[in-house]
Amino acid sequence: MKQWVKLLWLLAMVMLAAGCNRVVEAPMSAITVEAVETAEPAPLPAATVGKLVAADGRLASPFPSLALGFSGGVSGEVITITVRAGDVVQAGDVLARLDDAELRRAVDAAQLTLDRATLDRERAQAQWERDVADAEQSLASAQRALESARLQYSSTSVEEARTALEHMRQAEADAKKAYETPLFGDYTPDDERERDYKAWQNAIREREFAEMRLKDALNARGVRALDTEAREQDVTQAERKRAALETGIAPSYARAIEDAERELAKAQAALRNAVLLAPWDAIVLSVDVAPKATVSAGTPVMTLLNIADGLRFVSENLSEQHVAALRPGQKATITLRAYPETPLEGIVEAIIPQAKAAQTTDARFTVHVRLAPTDLALLPGLTGRAEIFTGE
């Protein structure tokens, strides 16, 4: 019996010793870390464990927030604000609109001015084309008239009349000589003398007719010369008129269109600027005016935070000891307090000295970690811890 009691006590001692060696672990989900705000930010804790650097931090945009207003010098009453603080917007989304009634009327007026200037130029062009056609036709007619006058102007008739006159003069001289020369010595029968006299008188008349024909030929040639000269002047004038049209319509028509196009472009730009668009993917931090408010050019309407390039996990106040092993490109795992069960992958993007850090402290460095794409709804300001694998 005593042996059985000893065996029972020995078994109890063994079980008690085994129970002392066990450790009960609490699940991770049961641990909650509360963020405590302080007036002055204390250096964030960082630890180097083997090949790992761990540091607390928060999500932040790599760009500062930006106050946006209507650009292009436009002003007026804000009739629509389409977003609220906290909204996430995409590049090109409409954020606000101004009352653009006056701007639309300005566009219509500028378009009407351009249409009129264009119509004036088209009419001037059509008239110029008609003038060119008329000038070319006039020039062709003048050239044909000149050719005809030149063909009619000839010295042949004058030379023929002059030759005929010489013949008539010679015939007159021969007739006169025949009349004055006796046929038989000093005697010429009366009938022969009468006949010679008549021949002489006929020769005189023929010579006079020849002189008149020469005079007429000379007069006709003079008239044709004047006509030819007139036709040459007509051709010269037609050529000058045609040459004056070679430069085209007046440059003022093109300048009027250019001026109208500039005014239209300016009016259209002002109309476009009456709509405030998101310049990039962003979070609306604040709406700074109320609907129906009247704003002037450059008045801030809302403040946006650029998230187009993604958020960064930023760990501040790291010491030289911690950053000595860090390099851009090192892999990191980010665990956010808002999503403790969903670690995020990242890569060290930059290690930045803090320009305004006090020289008396060793915590003078900031590390930026670029996050890999994720479906989580990440917002600037979410806090967590980064574990950076240094490979050392």
CATH classification of the domain holding 154: 1.10.287
* 327 domain-assigned: yes
CATH number where 41 lies? 2.40.30.170
Give yes or no: residues 116 and 93 share one domain: no
208 and 76 fall within a common domain: no
Q: Out of 305, 321, 346, pick the residue that ends a domain.
A: 305
Indicate whether 54 pLDDT > 50.
yes
The predicted pLDDT at position 196 comes to 83
Q: Which of 116-120, 124-128, 338-342, 359-363 has the lowest mean pLDDT?
A: 359-363
**Residue 26 falls within a domain, yes or no?**
no
Same domain, 181 and 128: yes
214/325 same-domain check? no
Rounded Cα–Cα distance for residues 390 and 392 (Å): 5
Cα–Cα distance, 59 to 260 (Å, whole number): 51
* Total residues belonging to the chain: 392
Quick one: 282 and 379 in the same domain? Answer: no
Q: Is the predicted pLDDT of residue 270 greater than 90, yes or no?
A: yes
> Given a cut of 60, is residue 18 above it in pLDDT?
no
202 and 141: one domain? Answer: yes
- Domain assignment of residue 23, yes or no: no
Q: What is the pLDDT of residues 202-235, one digit of tens each?
A: 989 988 888 898 888 888 888 888 888 898 899 9
Is residue 23 over pLDDT 50? no
pLDDT of residue 22: 37
Q: What is the pLDDT of residue 285?
A: 92
For the ranges 182-186, 264-268, 304-308, the lowest mean pLDDT is seen at 182-186
Same domain flag for 197 and 116? yes
Instruction: Give CA torsion, residues 139, 141, 147, 153, to 10 deg.
Output: -110
- Single-letter amino acid code for the residue at 159: E
| Among candidate residues 261, 282, 305, the one where a domain is terminated | 305
Q: Examine residue 37 and state whether it is found in any structural domain, yes or no.
A: yes
Dihedral of CA atoms 150, 152, 156, 161 in degrees, nearest 10, equals -140
Q: Do 361 and 242 sit in the same domain of this protein? A: no
Single residue among 288, 305, 322 that ends a domain in this structure = 305
The answer to whether residue 280 sits within a structural domain is yes
Q: How many CB atoms lie within 10 A of CB 212?
A: 12
Residue 282 belongs to domain with CATH number: 2.40.50.100
Strands 365-371 and 312-318: antiparallel
Residue numbers of the domain that contains 130: 105-253
**How far apart are alpha carbons 149 and 129 in whole angstroms?**
30
Q: 124 with 239, same domain?
A: yes
pLDDT exceeds cutoff 60 at 257: yes
| 16 within some domain | no
- Residue 378 within a domain: yes
How many independent structural domains does the chain possess? 3
Please indicate, yes or no, whether residues 230 and 117 belong to a single structural domain of this protein.
yes
| Residues 122, 93 share a domain | no
The CA distance from 120 to 171, in Å, is 78
58 and 70 both lie in a single domain: no
Q: Assess contact for 78 and 221: CB atoms under 8 A.
A: no
Mean pLDDT value across residues 242-269:
93
Q: Where are the alpha helices (DSSP H) in the chain?
A: 2-20, 101-152, 156-180, 190-244, 251-273, 320-323
Residue 362: inside a domain? yes
- Of 117, 83, 116, 98, the closest CA to residue 270 belongs to 98
